[in-house]
Structure 1
Amino acid sequence: MQDSAIAIAAIFVLAGFIKGVIGLGLPTIAMGLLAVVMPPAQAAAMMIVPSFVTNVWQMLSGNHLRAVLARLWPMLLGVCIGTWSGVGLMRGTYADYGAIALGLLLVLYAALGLSRVRFHLPRSREAVVGAVAGFITGLITAATGVFVIPAMPFMQAIGLEKDELVQALGAAFTVSTVALAGNLVANDAFTVSLAGPALGALAAALLGMWIGQALRLRMHPEVFRRWFFIGLLLLGCYLAGSAGAKLFLPH
């Protein structure tokens, strides 16, 4: 039990550290590593509080929130509808498939990051494409607990400035966290026994985020960003491979 608590704390320190350096990655890293040591639904429940607090902090850190919400509300609505449509995907017979999906999602996200693919979307198409991207992101969130693809490429494609993008990420991740929390409540994934570990995870994530923000002032972010995506690629391959072997290879 003590070893497990130490491992969980280390995971959230690392996830918070990465978010502090590059502004994202806490849910992705936390879900990816926690899924190695616990079922996806339990990992998602453990991740909710640290993710919500750190993303609200990021969302409110700036002066562009009103403008960002005016452009992103169709995507955010789509995220909620997609997430709630996928209630139950993370548990039962779907859990192992969700682990495979999470691994493949991490590989895709890492490949996009390493390739530096850039998209551009005309302003006239933002609402429709945003709603569809949000819905797909919501379904993936319901199955894996990770809210990145395709919402992040969409937000990059609409040409948000750096500070706007940081707040947009905070807003999108906050809404996704709340929507996912609704699914977990419906699935009885939240229990009183998780309260203590969740608060411990929050403290660890905030510590890691503080260290990461301090290091960001001293380190070239592009160097760290490259190694972040390489690590994510390897983690995704491991998760998809191990879950796939469990499902499809004879025991």
Structure 2
Amino acid sequence: MYDISGIFIITLTFLVAGTVKGVIGLGLPTISLAILTVIFGLPEGMALLIVPSFLTNLWQALSGGYTSIILRRLYIFLLAAACSVFLGASIFMQVDPSSLSTFLGVLLMVYGLVNLANFSFLLNSRQVIVLAPLAGALNGIFTGMTGSMVVPGVMFLQALGLHRDMLVQAMGMLFTLSTGVLALAMYEGSLLTLELGAMSSLGLVPALVGMALGQRIRKSLSEAVFRRVFFLSNLLIGAYIIVSNQLAY
């Protein structure tokens, strides 16, 4: 059972992560996973993000009006991303969690560095056909191994040249599918218990409150500045996870 301090940490984490998502339209799974992994460890962090991540991203996935267009263009990518989560989860069951925590730190640092450097490229239609199943499969494997759903999937989506609203909806669809399959894989592996499910559900309300707060903040804050702070936070938290795991050996 979680004590009062544990419940407070979970509530505060999803309040912060929801606020980030409200301001820039993304970041709830990433920031909540990073914080929860530092405090509770990777397996618990992955389980605790399930309910808030799934439901908030489901709303994002169903908003925007581009569902049919995205599915026609990206069904191979999304299918590969969903199916390969089970492979990543099977690796997770067999590997030392501290090693996977280090790998999560690497993914967070890569995600932060790529975006801070404004590194971008566009794929042509032939490259998309070749890379869609590969990017999807890698994203799913990394999701199953670490709970992180952004590398390389988000970078692939950014390279398609989608306009902002379509990109946000496509990311919502990717995160919803990934979270749903991750929940199934963790439940099958007895890593998602009733207690963890209940505690994850507890995070939904603060996540929604944070999103509403973030949308209000967004009107008076430079989104560009906030995005840089967000990606810098990913970089620093990733580095902290790596260093703390190495010092633990």
Asked if 2 retains the 8 angstrom alpha-carbon contact of 1:75 and 1:127, the reply is no
- TM-superposed CA distance for 1:93, in Å, is 3.9
Q: 1:238 aligns with which of 234, 237, 240?
A: 240
Asked if 1 retains the 8 angstrom alpha-carbon contact of 2:138 and 2:152, the reply is yes
Residues 6-39 of structure 1 deviation map (CA, whole Å, 9 limit, x = unaligned): 0111111011111111111111111111011213
Residues 179-221 of structure 1 deviation map (CA, whole Å, 9 limit, x = unaligned): 2112101211121222431221011111111111111122110
Which residue type is aligned with residue 97 of structure 1? S
Q: TM-score w.r.t. structure 2 length? A: 0.95
- TM-superposed CA distance for 1:228, in Å, is 1.1
Q: CA RMSD of the aligned region, Å?
A: 1.3
Which residue type is aligned with residue 134 of structure 1? G
User: What are the residue-to-residue correspondences of 1:1-251 with 2, within 5 Å?
Assistant: 1-91=3-93, 93-247=95-249
Give secondary structure in 1 for the equivalent of 2:120. coil
- In 1, the alpha carbon distance for the partners of 2:10 and 2:92 equals 20
- In 1, the alpha carbon distance for the partners of 2:196 and 2:230 equals 29
Gaps of 5+ in 1: none
- In 2, the alpha carbon distance for the partners of 1:114 and 1:39 equals 27
Which residue type is aligned with residue 161 of structure 1? H
Which residue type is aligned with residue 201 of structure 2? L
Q: Relative to structure 1, is the Cα distance of residues 85 and 91 closer, same or farther in structure 2, using a 3 angstrom cutoff? A: closer
- In 2, the alpha carbon distance for the partners of 1:192 and 1:171 equals 26
- TM-superposed CA distance for 1:48, in Å, is 0.5
- TM-superposed CA distance for 1:81, in Å, is 2.7
* Runs (4+) off by over 4 Å: none
Asked if 2 retains the 8 angstrom alpha-carbon contact of 1:16 and 1:208, the reply is yes
Give secondary structure in 1 for the equivalent of 2:235. helix
Matched residue count: 247
Gaps of 5+ in 2: none
Which residue type is aligned with residue 100 of structure 1? T
